[in-house]
Amino acid sequence: MATDISIALEELLDKTGADVDFLREAVRALVQELMEIEVTRQIGAARHERTPERKTHRNGYRHRSWDTRVGTIDLHIPKLRRGSYFPSWLEPRRRAEKALLAVVQEAYIRGVSTRKVDELVQALGMTGISKSEVSRLCAELDEMVEAFRNRSLTGRYPYLWLDAKYVKVREGGRVLNMALVVAVGVTDTGEREVLGLDVGLTEDGPFWTEFLRSLVRRGLNGVLLVISDAHEGLREAIRRVLGGSSWQRCRVHFMRNLLSQVPRSAQQMVAALVRTIFAQPDKAAAHAQLAEVVQRLRPRFPKAAELLCEAEEDVLAYMAFPREHSRQLHSTNPLERLMREIGRRSDVVGIFPDRASLIRLAGAILMEQQDEWIAAPRRYFSQESMSKLYRSNEVLQTTELLAIPQP
């Protein structure tokens, strides 16, 4: 690979003069080859190569502008069918890193930092930073995040994912576990969008209700399906604010709850049996298979059978929508990557000095993700499949009844 890079650069030298345009093209060729090397290593195989070590396959490219001393370079970053790749030498989230730096600095100068934060401050040589510098940086980031959180939402959002993550925050002289909640939607043209975030003391009904109402005030409408876990406060909020929508109980969380009612020795067998429900070609077949599974479980595992009966409509709600969307609609997994990224950055801080600092960091991460989704060459769901969504008689009947109440 290194030889290929040298050859590519030598060819460029022969074709062009040693000017800025040449340097820009030389850098582009070099880093493009570096990305191919990294992707090959991550995948475990070169392009078109068959090896036992192969983990996934390439899936085209996405464009990203990279500002350098020789000008802006258009990078073609390889995409993967499973998982994701970002060049190790290119910082993917500059705004997020800036926000993380601000939180670390703020915690340090306010004297509420953890040992981890103090060590990071020392390592980065930030001990001499002034309170005014930190305040200016925080104010700059807060303005961007607030504009993002309060922007108007236009168009329809047929699908809405909701999830929460608990993070340690200082408040009133105590360290509290606070809920960071995030909403992601898909537009009627099939594109993903981060819709909102907030921080609260608990995931109770009033907090979720106010969060959803804030989304409605900003323009959220046309919601046909909400995907979340079975937290009672959240379910009540969905019923109050998004009363015309269906609710899909996260299948991943449901399976964990179901298997907790079964002895460990039988969990693999029960899981395989329940999965046959979700493998059915349509909703009617899935309901029929669920009834059969319940009958088979009831003699040995009555609690699991009862839980499956109670959750029947909620875990199969996604089957009323286009089959092309099923993989993304049956759980909150589409939010998992986002929540993991927030968790990774939060772990560096450990304990946030206040709510504002948590919103600042989480907001910056979500803004960066939104930028990546906008730049992605493909929609999350194709236009054809979204048209099928609105042509479906069952969904159209739901749409006619849909009237999200204004708070």
Q: Are residues 47 and 188 in the same domain?
A: no
Q: Are residues 41 and 168 in the same domain?
A: no
DSSP code string of 145-182:
HHHHHTPPP-S---EEEEEEEEEEEEETTEEEEEEEEE
Total structural domains in the chain? 2
CA 243 to CA 120: how far, in whole Å? 47
**Amino acid present at 89:** W
CA 363 to CA 196: how far, in whole Å? 9
Residue 397 forms part of a structural domain: yes
Structural domain boundaries, residue 59: 2-80
Using N-to-C axis directions, what is the helix angle for 115-124 and 94-109, rounded to 10°?
110
Q: What is the pLDDT of residues 101-122, one digit of tens each?
A: 666 656 655 655 566 666 656 6
Which of 80, 96, 118 finishes a domain? 80
Q: Are residues 329 and 212 in the same domain?
A: yes
Q: Are residues 325 and 179 in the same domain?
A: yes
CA 1 to mean position of chain CA atoms:
34
CA 369 to CA 89: how far, in whole Å? 19
pLDDT at 400: 46
Q: Are 360 and 99 in contact (CB under 8 A)?
A: yes
Q: Are residues 391 and 262 in the same domain?
A: yes
129: tokens are 């930073």
Residue 148 forms part of a structural domain: no
> How far is CA 19 from each of CA 26, 107, 217, 398, rounded to the nearest angstrom?
11, 46, 54, 62
Q: Are 167 and 135 in contact (CB under 8 A)?
A: no
Which of 80, 95, 121 finishes a domain? 80
Which of 52, 80, 108 finishes a domain? 80
Q: Are residues 264 and 393 in the same domain?
A: yes
Using DSSP's 3-state secondary structure scheme, residue 188 falls into: coil
Q: Are residues 201 and 303 in the same domain?
A: yes
Question: pTM for this structure?
Answer: 0.71
Q: Are residues 181 and 313 in the same domain?
A: yes
Q: Are residues 51 and 173 in the same domain?
A: no
Residue 62 forms part of a structural domain: yes
Q: Are residues 328 and 223 in the same domain?
A: yes
Residue 365 forms part of a structural domain: no
pLDDT at 258: 95
Q: Are residues 270 and 389 in the same domain?
A: yes
pLDDT at 401: 45
Residue 371 forms part of a structural domain: no
Q: Are residues 172 and 302 in the same domain?
A: yes
pLDDT at 37: 86
Residue 143 forms part of a structural domain: no
Q: Are 167 and 177 in contact (CB under 8 A)?
A: yes
1: tokens are 């690979």
Residue 120 forms part of a structural domain: no
Residues of the chain with pLDDT under 50: 1-3, 5-10, 12-13, 15-18, 92-93, 393, 395-396, 399-407
pLDDT at 347: 81
Any residues with CB less than 8 A from the CB of 76 and at least 6 apart, and which? 32, 35, 61, 62, 63
Q: Are 369 and 341 in contact (CB under 8 A)?
A: yes
Residue 304 forms part of a structural domain: yes
